[in-house]
Structure 1
Amino acid sequence: MGLRPWGGLPKGAVMTATIKITESILLVDDQPVNLQVLMHTLERLGCKLLVAKNGETALTIAQKARPDLILLDIMMPGIDGFEVCRRLKADPSTQKIPVIFLSALDDTGDKVRGLQLGAVDYVAKPFQPEEVIARVNTHLTIHRLSREVQQQRDELEHELQVVSQLQRNLLPERLPQVPGLRLAVHYETSRYAGGDYYDFMTLPGGLLAVLIADAEGHSAPAAVMMAMTCALFRSCSTGLAEPDRMLSFINENLCKVNRDSFVTAVYAVYDPARRTLRIACAGHPLPILYRFSEKAAAEIPCDSVLLMGLGPYADVPVTEVTLHPGDRILFYTDGVTDRFNASQERYGTNRLLGQFSNAASDDPEVILKEIVDDISKFAGDCPADDDQAMVIIVVD
């Protein structure tokens, strides 16, 4: 085994603060003459040249030095080049290193076998120096760009993970404790960051305010709109008990800063003394009410205003329903009903109504789990392409 760096600073040169990382090439051949020719040919590239005279040594160097490219002979004592390539591609630590076969075997079958093993190129001996340099340059460039793209993807993934965690920090840490009510929530993003949002606020007189919203899309811009909706809701000091005033307030402020996106929402206020739920809706899926006395579920027929962020509201209608012990309410975002399976069938509102009606328990946590499991079973291996949020309230 030999390690031979080539290039370096000219005599009298002064090193500056800028450091260029030298790319390395591993040359594998059992013939010293061939290695000398290769070293002389590639010396002008300014790369660090590593040398191995057999397959075992090549594998050892590749694992330790992680070269940027390997020029690999086929006919060698011990394990041949084909086996070296197979082992390189089977090892996660070396499988991404591009391999160019450089061999006197010029049969088409040998070339095909080499490429099938994962080599990126095949050069027959005797070779032309210009051809080798051109192919080496090409694959070094591809490998370098691939690393840069992967690095950018890793950095973006890290940023999205941070955004996702910050977004989840905006959600309520714990569910409110309201006498006579039991609550449960489910929240799932299709990517790292999403646009779905739910929140609660306990108000004077024992009132409970519930907000569920869905910003357009399910990426970073949607997460920003979700955060803005959260900030507006939590910063509002008046009108919290009035669903129409709350939606008007959020919409008015979103219109001031928004130009290209929108938010759907349902805002509801429950009065435990009167057992009433007052609801305002802005382009959002209607809440579902399960009547214990009827053993059936149906959408609450609420009049809706336009999506928030598009323009001012002249008037926001409010719907009031009276709840009884055993009744339950489901608020959800459209990612629940818009889940598709492999046949491009939509889960849909009817399936959700049926699942909500036929729940085996009145425990909201159990009901939510049954719905989530049913959606997963329906979708199979098809991933969710939208965020999903659900809030269930059961009246005792």
Structure 2
Amino acid sequence: MTTPHLPKVAGINPPVPPPAQTPASASAASSADPLSPSASGAPGAGGPEGPEGPGGPDTSASAADPSGAAAPSGRPGSSGRSGSLGSPGAAVLPGPFLPPPTAVVQDRLAGWISDLTALQELTERLTRTACLDDALREALRAGAALVGARRGLVTLHPATGPGRDHPVTVGFGLDHADLGHIETIPEAAQGTTPEAFPEAGRSAGPGPADPGPPATGRRGRRATPPPAPEAARPQAAHRAERALTSYGRLFDDLPPAGSRSGTAHPDIAADEGLDPRHREVAARLGYGASYAVPLETEHAGRIGAAVWLYDEPSEPTERQRRLVGLYRDHATEHLARQLELAEARRTVATLREELLPSRLPRTPGVRLAVRHRTGPLGGGDWYDALPLPEGALGLAVGGVSGSGPGAVAAMGRLRASLRAYAVMEGEDPVAVLSDLELLLRLTEPSRAATAIFAYCEPPDRKVILAGAGHCPPLIIGDHRVEFVETSLSAPLGMLACWEAPSVEIEPAPGETLLFYSDGLLHRTGQPMDRAFARLRTAAAGVPKAARRDPDAVVEHVLRTVLPQMEDADKRHEGYGDGEGGGGEDVVLLAAHFE
């Protein structure tokens, strides 16, 4: 019995599965070979003439040659049912051939991965910065590493929004003397036009989001942009003149608002288009080229600019420009957020300063001095010194739980209430604090507060004080440095009925009574017992010549207990941070009895 043949249609060769004993790899390899019969486009394996050529019918050949036209449909190079439709002589193109990656491609991929890794590390370092000054220095350092420079300068001065009234300039590798030399470059030498500033750009009408790389001259200097329309030119020029000083003296030829491309001066000494004073300052400071980029966001607009200085004539490569551009976009967003935070902290600091005494009273027999440092979030620590009837003096230091604007507002209400109670019954500090606790429990039950109030009679050198969960004051004199033994008591608002006995002391002539907030102890970062010992050691170390001056006493104690705070105040001056090892406020109030 013979094997029945499959029916054949003209132009169509029905698929026949290969024998089970034929390896699939051999079939796939032969079908993928462009010189094999199946790749030649013939429906059979009998010859170029097709199924009726000299070789006769190809049924036997199909069964015998598994690599021929009878390869199953779907294999590469097969001439199955889906690939044989059409004319019998139509050729079937071989499948795509993907060569292995060459060394050039591998090097390029490795370069991309290296760039992305470097950008990720730099942006993470920038994100970890907690204040504007640190963010500016980190952005300058990272940008210098990306463009291959050693020095740089960044200035922030938005025309609108946070920071417009508090411009800031930070140098990298430049000291104050270098910045002073840069400030001597004439403004007219910059060639800066109104279109380079955000307000002027908006006045001149809408433009493209990014007009692309700026047109540059023979030495890499950007060509002057077209002038603003006549109707907007006076207002744009005025705003540009107002914002001119915010971009320093090195940010000439900045692109117009909306463009974030950089401007390079590859050879300052040979650039005759620059002002002679500019070339003189560059030679004095030892830099031969510069590269400046604007700092701009879609939300805040242009907030400033950054420039990096090269020791020798040079300019960044296209790869370096691309990398610093990507980093600049992220850094600008971070700097804009830091500007908003700095403005908010500054507002809170100004508010709380207005809620505290503007000046200390002058009372015969007592001299006062105070030091107050605000925490990063503007906590609720406060102090007060108010004259009372019959020549008495009231002194108070306290703190409200929480931080931020809410704690500042609560501090203001608590201080105003204490002043009222002190005027009415100040000779009894326990009564003053009891009334204050009742008011706090009725009006603000979710808050707690600490306070210490002292009623002083300077002529008799007599002090009556009571505390509510507050640290005991310290007596500093020639013969003793000790804490006042006050009774333990709970903070205000913690118990249903607050009560604690008062303590009466008599400071000797020349002694100083020092009140302080618990933030002074917490910012040391040490356990409370060690912090108290550190405070007492600092008070005992006050020079004898300075013990007659309460200002010298509080200054010495503050610098000795928290030496890092003075440097932090200088670094973060103007930003409302006051950060120095912690986030709490610090208050020191000294009363020197003559």
User: Shorter chain as normaliser: what TM range?
Assistant: 0.5 to 0.7
1:73-97 deviations in Å (ceiling 9; x for gaps) = xxxxxx9xxxxx971349994449x
Give the 3 Å change call, closer, same or farther, for CA 175–317 of structure 1 in structure 2. Answer: same
Residue among 458, 462, 476 paired with 1:290: 476
Paired residues of 2:383 and 2:396 also in contact (CA < 8 A): yes
Partner SS state of residue 211, structure 2: strand
Q: In the alignment, which residue of structure 1 is the partner of 2:352?
A: 167
Q: Cα deviations across residues 1-46 of structure 1 (Å, max 9, x unaligned)?
A: xxxxxxxxxxxxxxxxxxx966521323xxxxxxxxxxxxxxxxxx
In structure 2, relative to structure 1, the CA distance for the partners of 1:192 and 1:66 (3 Å cut) is same
- Map of 2:586 onto structure 1: 388
Partners of 1:27 and 1:52 within 8 A in 2: no
Secondary structure of 1:349's counterpart equals helix
Separation in 1, partners of 2:345, 2:391: 38
Q: Distance in 2 between matches of 1:183 and 1:228?
A: 24
Secondary structure of 1:176 counterpart: coil
Q: Answer yes or no: is the 8 Å Cα contact 1:290–1:329 preserved in 2.
A: yes
SS state at 1:195 partner: strand
Q: Separation in 2 of the partners of 1:162 and 1:285?
A: 29
Is the contact made by 1:26 and 1:70 (CA closer than 8 Å) also made in structure 2?
Answer: no
Distance in 2 between residues matched to 1:158 and 1:285, nearest whole Å: 33
- 1:326 is matched with which residue? 510
Q: Secondary structure at the match of 1:366?
A: helix
Indicate which of 254, 258, 261 corresponds to 1:63: 254
> What's the CA shift for 1:381?
5.6
* Conserved? CA contact 1:289–1:299, under 8 Å: yes
Residues 276, 309 of structure 1: alpha-carbon distance in 2 compared, 3 angstrom cutoff: same
Whether 2:399 is the aligned partner of 1:214: answer yes
How far apart in 2 are the matches of 1:202 and 1:70? 62
Going from structure 1 to structure 2, the CA distance change for 1:57 and 1:173 (only over 3 Å counts) comes to: closer
Q: Measured at CA, do residues 51 and 390 of structure 1 come closer, stay the same or move farther in structure 2, by a change above 3 Å?
A: same
Counterpart selection for 1:304 from 488, 492, 505:
488
The CA deviation at 1:170 is 2.3
Q: Greater Rg, structure 1 or structure 2?
A: 2
Q: Secondary structure at the match of 2:291?
A: helix
Task: Name 1:270's counterpart in structure 2.
Answer: 456
**Counterpart residue number, 1:358:** 541
TM-score of the two chains, using structure 1 as the length reference: 0.66
Instruction: Indicate which of 336, 339, 349 corresponds to 2:520.
Output: 336
Of Structure 1 and Structure 2, the greater strand share is in 1
Q: Aligned match of 1:119 in 307, 317, 325?
A: 325
- Partners of 1:272 and 1:381 lie apart in 2 by 37
8 Å CA contact 1:88–1:95 kept in 2: the answer is yes
* Matching residue's letter, 1:250: L
Deviations 1:192-215 (A, max 9, x none): 733221112222232211111122
TM-score, normalised to structure 2, is 0.46
For the residues of structure 1 that align with 2:356 and 2:565, how far apart are their CA atoms? 27
Give the aligned partner of residue 261 of structure 1.
447
Query: Does the aligned pair in 2 maintain the 1:184–1:365 contact within 8 Å?
Result: yes
Q: 1:260 to 1:52 in 2, by over 3 A?
A: farther
User: Offset at 1:238?
Assistant: 2.5
Gaps of 5+ in 1: 1-19, 29-49, 73-78, 80-84, 97-109, 122-138
Asked which structure has the greater RCO (Cα within 8 Å, sep 6+), the reply is: 1
Alpha-carbon distance between aligned partners in 2 of 1:59 and 1:303, rounded to the nearest angstrom: 77
- 1:113, distance to aligned residue in structure 2 (A): 4.3
1:255 Cα deviation from its structure 2 partner: 1.9
Shift of 1:247: 0.9
Per the TM alignment, residue 389 of structure 1 is displaced from its structure 2 partner at its CA by 0.7
**Partner letter of residue 353 of structure 2?**
R
Letter in 2 for 1:387: D
Aligned-partner Cα distance in 1 for 2:414–2:446: 15
Distance verdict in 2 for CA 1:380–1:328, change over 3 Å: closer
CA shift at 1:248, angstroms? 1.3
Q: For residues 302-335 of structure 1, give each alpha carbon's deviation from its aligned partner in whole angstroms, at most 9, with x where no partner exists.
A: 1132212334434222111122212221100012
**Identity of matched residues, %:** 21
Cα distance change of structure 1 residues 90 and 59 upon mapping to structure 2, 3 Å threshold: farther
Count residues with an aligned counterpart: 314
The Cα shift of 1:388 comes to: 0.9
User: Which runs of structure 2 are paired with 1:1-396 in the superposition (5 Å)?
Assistant: 24-28=209-213, 56=220, 58=222, 63-70=254-261, 87-89=291-293, 93-95=304-306, 113-114=320-321, 116=323, 118-120=324-326, 154-191=339-376, 193-236=378-421, 237-292=423-478, 295-340=479-524, 348-360=531-543, 361=546, 362-377=548-563, 383-385=580-582, 386-396=584-594
Q: Deviations over 1:41-60 (max 9, x none)?
A: xxxxxxxxx76688835586
User: What is the rounded CA distance, in whole Å, between the counterparts of 2:505 and 2:475 in structure 1?
Assistant: 9
Q: Deviations over 1:285-307 (max 9, x none)?
A: 11112354xx2211111113221
The answer to whether the 8 A contact 2:212-2:259 is kept is no
- Partners in 2 of 1:278 and 1:369 — Cα distance? 26
Q: 1:143-199 CA distances to partner (integer Å, 9 max, x unpaired)?
A: 7x965x765654554343233223212222322222222221111112373322111
Secondary structure in structure 2 of the residue aligned to 1:392:
strand
CA RMSD of aligned residues (A): 4.1
Contact 1:161 1:192 in 2 (8 A): no
Question: What secondary structure, in the 3-state scheme, does the structure 1 residue paired with 2:472 have?
Answer: coil
